[in-house]
Amino acid sequence: MANMEYTLNVHGRLMDLSTPQVMGILNTTPDSFYAGSRVQTADEIARRAGQIVEEGGTIIDVGACSTRPGAEPVSEQTEMERLRLALDVVRRVQPDMPLSVDTFRPDVARMAVEEYGADIINDVSEGEDKAMFRMVARLGVPYVLTSVQPDLRSTLLTFAAKVQQLRDYGQKDIILDPGFGFGKTLEQNYRLMGELEKLHVMELPLLVGISRKSMIWKYLEVTPAEALNGTTVLNTIALMKGAAILRVHDVKEAVECCKIKEASDCKS
């Protein structure tokens, strides 16, 4: 499947999504499900940001509040403190990299954009708090809308309603994340992956984040640390079904997936 021609307005710069982008994960949490993604000191944050860039990532996604199933959210103040440290470091060492902030809190989104020029807000809450819709529309940054629905039909219905709400508030750039691992059984995750291309009826770019998730390591009976190969397989399937952005821990491997997919699309 050829990628649809989308662009994002990233603070006045157009990001072309007709070529898939790789979003590298930078977690400042001590309890993210994959231990290899956790960075907390300024030096660790700088090294991780540099690694994402060196390995070919085109977006850095910074998270400061774990959203893994069963995790207890930290306070808004703690999330802001962690983000301020991370965003300050990343902006200093990688000033030109587009930054995404993974948060479900409107005031955290505001702080990240107004104080540090964050470029994208990545919200896993399915827009449960309409204040977030109003906030991102006011801030004028692209917004990732995540589904927590269990199947294709409910995902499409919810996306349609939420996208209309966002449009009503004046939101322009919207990215859809089917939410693998959120509100779905293992079987439902794979069923949705099998039907992923049907989400293109929404005519919006798709972000897929399946990196080392339990739908891989539980199914293969391994650990998150052993789930890279399964992640690469699913990233490739997602690209074949038209994913525009891959959100990953392992940037180099995802970039290689994109390159090989691009080569396979070439016609003599």
**Does the active-site annotation cover 105?**
no
Which is the catalytic residue, given 48, 184, 247, 261?
247
CB 251 within 8 Å of CB 25: no
Handedness of CA 170, 135, 117, 99 (dihedral sign): negative
Looking at residue 99, its amino acid is L
List the structure tokens of 20: 């898939």
What is the DSSP secondary structure assignment for residue 185, as one 8-state letter? -
H or E segment and range at residue 208? strand 207-208
Cα–Cα nearest to 199, from 228, 156, 164, 151: 156
Catalytic residue, candidates 82, 213, 241, 261: 213
Q: Which of 116, 183, 119 is nearest to 147 (CA)?
A: 183
CA-to-CA distance for 57 and 59, rounded, in angstroms? 6
Q: Which residue reads 């349609």 in tokens? A: 160
The question of whether 247 is a catalytic residue gets the answer yes
For the beta sheet containing 120-123, the strands, ordered from the edge strand earlier in sequence to the opposite edge, are: 174-177, 143-146, 120-123, 99-102, 59-63, 21-27, 245-248, 207-208
Tell me the catalytic residues.
213, 247
